Amino acid sequence: MSEPTTGSTEAAAGAERDFLKVSDLYAGYGQARVLQGLDFSVARGEVCAILGPNGAGKTTTLRALCGMVRGRGSVTLNGTELLGRSPEQAARLGVAHVPEGRGTFNDLTVEENLRIGAHLRTGPRRRGRTERAAVVADLERIYDYFPKLRQRSRQAAGSLSGGEQQMLAVGRALMLRPSLLLLDEPSLGLAPLVTRELFEIVRAVNEEERTTVVVVEQNAQLALDIAHRAHVLEAGRLVLSGPAGQIREDGQVAEVYLGVSVLSRKAG
Amino acid sequence: MSTITASLGTDRVRWLRPTLTVLVAAAVAVGAPFYFAPFQVFQLTMVLVYAVALSGLNLLTGFGGQISLGHGAFFAAGAYTAAVMLDRYDTSHLATLPAAAAGCFLLGLGFGVPALRLRGLYLALVTLSFAVFLPPLLKRLEPVTGGSMGLTVNKMQPPAWSGLAEDQWMYFVVLAVTAVALLLARNLLRSRVGRALLAVRDNESAAEVMGVRLSLHKTLAFAWSAMFAGVAGCLYTWVIGFVSPDSFSFVLSITLLAGLVVGGLGSLYGPLLGAAFVMYVPSVSQDVSEAAPGVVFGLLIITVMFVAPTGLAGLPGRVLGAVARRPPRTTAALDRMPEAESAPDAEPESQALSGPSETHTPADPAVVDAEPVGAPPRTEKE
Amino acid sequence: MSAVTDLLQQVVEGLGSGAVYASLALALVLIHRFTGIVNFAQGELAMLSTYVAWQLVASGMPYWLALPATLAVSFAGGMLLERIVIRPVQGAPELTVVIVTVGLFIFVNALAGLIWSFTVKDFPQPFPDGGLDVSGVRMDWSTLGIIGVVAVVMGLLYLLFQHTSIGLVMRAVACNPASARLSGIRVGWVLMLGWGLAATVGAVSGVLVAPVLFLEPNMMGGVLIYAFAAATLGGFDSPVGAVVGGLFVGVAETLTGAYVDVIGADLKVGVPLVIILAVLLVRPQGLFGRAAVERA
Amino acid sequence: MRKTTALRAAAAATAALLTATACSSQRGQDAQDTTAGGACKGQQTTGITDKTIKLGGIYPLSGPASAYGTISKGVAAYFSHVNDKGGIDGRKVEFVVRDDGYQPPKAVEEARRLVEQEKVFAVFQTLGTPSTAAVWDYLNKQKVPQPFVATGASAWGTGDQHPWTIGWQPNYVAEARVYAKYLKDARPKAKVAVLYQNDDFGKDLLGGFKKAVAGSGVKVVAEESYEVTDPSVSAQMASLARSKADVLLDVTTPKFGSQALAADAKNTKWNPLHIVNNVASSAAVLKPVGFKNVQGVVSATYFKDPADPQWAADPEMKAYKDALHKYAPDADPANQFNAYGWAVASSLHQALDAMKCPTREGLRDAVRSLKDVKVGMLLPGVTMSTGHGDAFPLETMQLMRFKGERWQLFGKPVDTRKEFGPAAK
């Protein structure tokens, strides 16, 4: 169980590097223990991919980060402990989670979905007019990222296609102006072209807004394209960590480790 | 049976224990009327009567996942069939049983057809309005049903050879019918019909894909269930010897459903526990507070549901489970996710562990406390 | 009086009963929309609220002061009820929650009997005596008043849900509570709010109908069945449907009771049954209910 | 190992059961039933001693008919009152109340409990026709007196298969006859509209009325029924208004009585003579409607209404109110059901005093041979009489009209036996 990130002791740089710091994380459902002690860090503004086969604990990791699953150990975001908090508290700390299967509000219109995303910024006791204006501006920004959503802003979310729903889910998460964006299997069930488009947008968001992103993905190729760093999970443990490019090259190694090829899925 | 590793010895134990349990239960059941006072035997008899009705409702709601708030009406139909036959046509008591059963089976079949189109809540409320409608209808059919004065009929008398008192004889007759009914319910569930029902309850569309003939099985479930209620109604007439329309108000239907849920949905012995609850708890409530038994009764229902959300039958399992359970748990996320329907107790990752298949199973994003076995599908709004 | 006037008079009577059903159906629909359960105790809670109002008036408080006080008490009571009685069984099978409300029904009914006895109480009528007479058809002010208030409540609910941020949050929770949590919404708090609102609407219903039905612990028992019918007919998640369904059921049962001799007053309760069955067979989600809009 | 354990457990359980059956069977309790000696030899004395008498009553304390449950409080208050004054003929009364929730099967259970476990002397009052009908076969078979059942159905006094059961209040047919006689005298050409509860009570009264006016100029022109589960009777009232009848016979229970009176008052175009039956005639029913709206309403009664100021100084009424205040402080003395309980309990007191033998048989015979027995809570001129072939203790009622803030009795008490002959089915 070695520290996967290279240890640096310079304080300021350390805070930036350990923007999200996961140490000795255990989590599971009922009696089924899924995560067996994870340690990793994500630097501010970084896109971090978590890869691994089915059942490795990728989704559980994200759920533990956002409070949907209770865990033991420690998860800090910018120095604040996240473990033991409920999802709504995590959201208040700037964690936006786009769950697997999207979780859009099907009965609400597209625009209402996005406004719900900004709920914390416009809630009754929240700041006044300037923030309202900022939300409207953000709405425009999301529509710029996802022009299709603008076309369908008055439509019920349930009537959107899978890709549009996924875009809506990401858009809703961005409306929170999160400091940490968690994406769970964004490519699931989407056509390859749509997936690529989505990942490009995530990259753009990351680059333009410096939002830290943790993405869980089956399609390693795609994820590695936009990620700066990557971690490979197997059976609840980290088996491989490193810069994305390096992981890509170490694909052979992963294959040895996992028995299946991390890169076996053809991207595109 | 156990084909793999069971050694002869453990196999025998496996057989012996349930056999012994059944034998002891039978001994207690047979011995009871010689031990208890007549009115206590009467109470036990009524518990058995309600248990038959509840096991019928259990087939429909606990296993079939369809909620009926109208089973009091089938109960009444059975009771009146028996009473009218005894009163007008002077038939023997035993002859009324098949008639009540068959009549209610057909009635249930008739009801099962529109029930196919109705889901969850809507079915529950339509059956409730049927239960509300029945008493005035019975009053209207005065020439046959005796109107609001009801019908008083002879109770079953013990034959001379038995040497038993009336209450004891009644108890044994009802016990026999109940035993047959419960066995039938058990076998129904183990038959193809039962397995199909379970499949339908757990995942309707998947069951359909698998080729289960949904409409047929759901309609049949309704019919069987109504038949049990009718048989219980028939027994009721034998035991009470009096039927009147206001005895079968919609309160009876609600009581039946409450009894079943309190006893334990989808459990084989839940109906017995539920019947005992319906029978004894009102008396207990009265002993606690004569001024307002309802206050105590209402509180007791709520309390039981707090302590045993899956019913009394599930209580031992929950207690054991709670002891064994470890801290890492999901936070109590609301389980109203539409996706929760498809795989109620799936634990996405651990489940996925078992198969290295490339196709990823879509599972619910918020994993919930695994929904207990025997839970009915939720009355999700459509 | 001509046959037409007769008929119209019966329709007016039907609207009067229908408004009573609609008022309670609104509260039922509210709860169902936000929590997905059918609250069997809704009528009894409305009755309890009405007794609170009665007690306040009886102890000397002016009616127009007692009314807002009652609504406030009901709102707080509804929220408390969600927290104490419903929250502990959240996550249990839905039927369990329904049976808890049945237990609550029995409890509240007996409690009211214990405190206030079963003697009929007179409840102040906020609307003036007499009524409107349009070419021989008489409509009481109280009937008009009930219909008016029910319409206003329905309108307010519509505004609340469609045009306020809190309404948007409530709809989001109703639609997908898990995602709502992820957006930072305190779902538990919103559910309490839903119960509080429903209890308040129920209190309005109780206070409206008490002068007509006369206040006693079983006042709402009969109304509940018809309110179920109204909500089922209208679709269990549509406030507009609840009101239209209520009025429709009221008029239909009154007319058949009065004009179809075979049915008569005793069997008129079967009329809503037949209508509901017919409607549901064509539109399983009720007249105004939404069919699920979902694409994979 | 496990096998033997299971076997042992089974054997132990069986043995325990057998032992229990042999030694402490609860069935043996029947042996405690006692019989008298002397002149009353062979008669049952279960539940009665020289010092005590045990009675059991079954009332709906829960469920839809709980409004009537308070009768038991009036009864219990009376017995407590009597016990404090030395009891009935030196015997203290123990009164056991059980709840049947107005459900016949529950009534059967409770009746059996009272007889077999509580060993009561008599089941004094079962309430409601369904519950009474469900238990009377059993009680008669057990030879347990079932005096003064709280229902006015005419079944209890007709027929001779149930000698142990007897009614008390004027049966609904008798009450109907009182109204019929009044109409035949005062409005011989009356067209009558009837609102009735769709159960034995409403049907009995309506049937009795129709029979009593048969052949006269009084005609029933419209009938509308309602169910106890209905929320309101306003639709029925609207239908009746169409009939243009000049008399409305209102056969309802309290809440519906209030609704019908209010609906009648609101309809200014139809102003029939409103006859409200006794069950719904309490001042507690009229007051919510507003006294100004019920002027001139006619009814009939046989016991004193505690809400009526004219009895304020009546000694029996005073005793009643004091006792209720003392023994049932949470009960409302103005509620006529409490007064009903008091009246029926004091009637039983008279019957117990009249027993020749202090036995169940003695009570059975005593309630069937009452001769003009006066009871304090009953109206002056209303007495209990029974005899061979006549098992209706009360068949006399007096008409009253509502004026100002109270009922005013008018005319003489109407003895329906004299007017119409015995009530026959």
Query: The CATH number of the domain where D157 resides is what?
Result: 3.40.50.2300
For residues C92 and B369, give the distance between their C-alpha atoms in angstroms, rounded to a whole number. Answer: 9
- What is the dihedral angle through the alpha carbons of A243, A244, A250, A251, rounded to the nearest 10 degrees? 160
B238 found inside a domain: yes
8 Å CB contact of C187 and A162: no
Which segments of chain C are extended strands (E)?
131-134, 137-140
Query: What confidence score (pLDDT) does residue B368 get?
Result: 33
Query: What confidence score (pLDDT) does residue C257 get?
Result: 83
Whether pTM > 0.90 for this model: the answer is: no
Q: Which residue has the higher pLDDT, B29 or D54?
A: D54
Across the range A195-201, mean pLDDT stands at 87
Cβ(D122)–Cβ(D55) below 8 Å: yes
User: Could you tell me the CA-to-CA distances from A138 to A148, A155, A177, B42, D385 in Å, in that order?
Assistant: 16, 19, 9, 73, 92
Do D228 and D290 lie in one domain? The reply is: yes
Which superfamily is assigned to A11-258 in CATH? P-loop containing nucleotide triphosphate hydrolases (3.40.50.300)
Query: What confidence score (pLDDT) does residue D12 get?
Result: 55
8 Å CB contact of C277 and B114: yes
Q: How many structural domains is chain D composed of?
A: 2
Percent of chain A at pLDDT above 90? 16
Residue D331 pLDDT greater than 70, yes or no: yes
Residue A261 pLDDT greater than 70, yes or no: no
8 Å CB contact of B114 and C281: yes
- Residue D95's SS3 state is strand
Task: Please state, rounded to an integer, the average pLDDT across all residues of chain A.
Answer: 82
Interface A-C, measured as beta-carbon pairs within 8 A, has a size of 90
Q: Which residues contact A121 (CB under 8 A, 6 or more apart)?
A: A127, A131, A134, A135, A175, A176, A177
Cβ(D146)–Cβ(D92) below 8 Å: no
The owner of tokens 């109270």 is: D406
8 Å CB contact of D98 and B286: yes
Q: How far is A176 from chain B (nearest CA, A)?
A: 19
B71 found inside a domain: yes
User: Could you tell me the CA-to-CA distances from A148 to A145, A160, C127 in Å, in that order?
Assistant: 9, 10, 54
User: Could you tell me the CA-to-CA distances from C44 to B22, B184, C101, C222 in Å, in that order?
Assistant: 45, 40, 10, 11
B173 found inside a domain: yes
| Tokens encoding B263 | 């006893």
| ipTM score of complex | 0.86
For residues C81 and C199, give the distance between their C-alpha atoms in angstroms, rounded to a whole number. Answer: 10
Half-sphere exposure of D40 (CA within 13 A, CB side): 16
C234 residue type, one letter = G
Q: Is the dihedral of CA B231, B236, B241, B247 positive or negative?
A: negative
Cβ(A61)–Cβ(A39) below 8 Å: no
Across the range D246-271, mean pLDDT stands at 91
For residues D48 and D46, give the distance between their C-alpha atoms in angstroms, rounded to a whole number. Answer: 6
Q: Domain locations in chain A?
A: 11-258
Interface B-C, measured as beta-carbon pairs within 8 A, has a size of 184
Do D47 and D115 lie in one domain? The reply is: yes
8 Å CB contact of B302 and C85: yes
Do D188 and D253 lie in one domain? The reply is: yes
Task: Report the alpha-carbon angle D36-D38-D41, nearest 5.
Answer: 45
Three-state SS for C153-205 is HHHHHHHHHHHCHHHHHHHHHHHCHHHHHHCCCCHHHHHHHHHHHHHHHHHHH
Do D115 and D74 lie in one domain? The reply is: yes
As beta bridge partners, residue D407 has D402
* Confidence band of A266 (pLDDT split at 50, 70, 90): very low
Shortest CA distance to B155 belongs to which of B146, B163, B165?
B165
Domain C3-282 CATH (choose: 1.10.10, 2.60.120, 3.40.1000, 1.10.3470): 1.10.3470
Task: Report the alpha-carbon angle C284-C287-C289, nearest 5.
Answer: 70
Residue D308 pLDDT greater than 70, yes or no: yes
Residues of A whose CB is below 8 A from C179: 99, 103-105
Cβ(C93)–Cβ(C198) below 8 Å: no
8 Å CB contact of B297 and D62: yes
Q: Which residues contact B193 (CB under 8 A, 6 or more apart)?
A: B217, B220, B221, B224
For residues C215 and C209, give the distance between their C-alpha atoms in angstroms, rounded to a whole number. Answer: 9
D15 found inside a domain: no
Do D249 and D288 lie in one domain? The reply is: yes
Nearest to D234 among C16, C21, C118 (CB): C16
Residues of A whose CB is below 8 A from B320: none
| Tokens encoding C61 | 């408080």
Is D104 part of the contact surface with chain B (CB cutoff 8 Å)?
A: yes
Q: Which residue of C has its CA nearest to D241?
A: C6
For residues D144 and B184, give the distance between their C-alpha atoms in angstroms, rounded to a whole number. Answer: 41
Residue ranges in chain B whose pLDDT is less than 70: 1-14, 200, 203-213, 322-382
User: Could you tell me the CA-to-CA distances from D323 to D117, D316, D333, D340 in Å, in that order?
Assistant: 30, 10, 10, 14
Do D185 and D217 lie in one domain? The reply is: yes
Query: What confidence score (pLDDT) does residue C138 get?
Result: 83
| Tokens encoding C249 | 């059921």
Burial of D78 (0-12, 13-18, 19+ CB in 10 A): buried
Nearest to A60 among B337, B349, B366 (CB): B349
Q: What is the pLDDT of residues A208-221, one digit of tens each?
A: 888 999 999 887 88
Query: What confidence score (pLDDT) does residue B365 get?
Result: 33
Do D181 and D289 lie in one domain? The reply is: yes
Do D176 and D164 lie in one domain? The reply is: no
Shortest CA distance to C213 belongs to which of D108, A80, D230?
D230
The owner of tokens 């769950």 is: A99
Range of the domain at D93: 43-170+303-394
D106 found inside a domain: yes
Q: How far is C173 from chain B (nearest CA, A)?
A: 10
- For chains D and B, having 3+ Cβ pairs within 8 Å is answered yes
For residues B223 and B71, give the distance between their C-alpha atoms in angstroms, rounded to a whole number. Answer: 11
D95 found inside a domain: yes
* Confidence band of A12 (pLDDT split at 50, 70, 90): low
Q: How far is C207 from chain B (nearest CA, A)?
A: 24
Nearest to B236 among D105, D155, D203 (CB): D105
B80 found inside a domain: yes
Report, in angstroms and rounded to the nearest whole number, the Rg of chain C calculated over CA atoms. Answer: 19
Half-sphere exposure of D84 (CA within 13 A, CB side): 10
Task: Please state, rounded to an integer, the average pLDDT across all residues of chain C.
Answer: 88
Shortest CA distance to D240 belongs to which of D225, D219, D252, D230?
D225
DSSP D122: E
Residue C133 pLDDT greater than 90, yes or no: no
Which other chains touch chain D, taking contact as 3+ CB pairs less than 8 Å apart? B, C
For residues B262 and C95, give the distance between their C-alpha atoms in angstroms, rounded to a whole number. Answer: 10
Across the range C62-67, mean pLDDT stands at 93
Residues of C whose CB is below 8 A from A159: 293, 295
* CATH (domain of B290): 1.10.3470
Reported for D40-45, long-range contacts at CB under 8 A and 24+ positions apart, including other chains, are D40/D356, D40/D357, D40/D358, D40/D359, D40/D361, D40/D362, D43/D357, D43/D359, D43/D360, D43/D361, D43/D362, D44/D143, D44/D359, D44/D360, D44/D361, D45/D358, D45/D359, D45/D360
Which other chains touch chain B, taking contact as 3+ CB pairs less than 8 Å apart? A, C, D
What sections of D143-189 are H helices per DSSP? 172-186
Query: What confidence score (pLDDT) does residue B220 get?
Result: 87
Percent of chain D at pLDDT above 90? 54
B345 residue type, one letter = D
- Substitution target from A63, A119, A155, A168 for chain C, most C beta carbons within 10 A: A119
Residue A7 pLDDT greater than 50, yes or no: no
| Tokens encoding D103 | 């459900």
Is B369 part of the contact surface with chain C (CB cutoff 8 Å)?
A: yes
Q: What is the pLDDT of residues A213-251, one digit of tens each?
A: 999 988 788 888 889 998 888 888 888 888 888 887 776
| Tokens encoding D206 | 């309506």
Terminal-residue alpha carbon distance, chain C: 61
DSSP A263: T
B352 found inside a domain: no
Query: What confidence score (pLDDT) does residue B377 get?
Result: 37
8 Å CB contact of B125 and C273: no
Shortest CA distance to B225 belongs to which of B65, B48, B44?
B65
Query: What confidence score (pLDDT) does residue A126 get?
Result: 52
Percent of chain C at pLDDT above 90? 47
Q: How many structural domains is chain B composed of?
A: 1
DSSP D145: -
Length of chain D: 425
Of the given ranges (A186-195, B71-80, D261-270), which has the lowest mean pLDDT? A186-195
D267 residue type, one letter = N
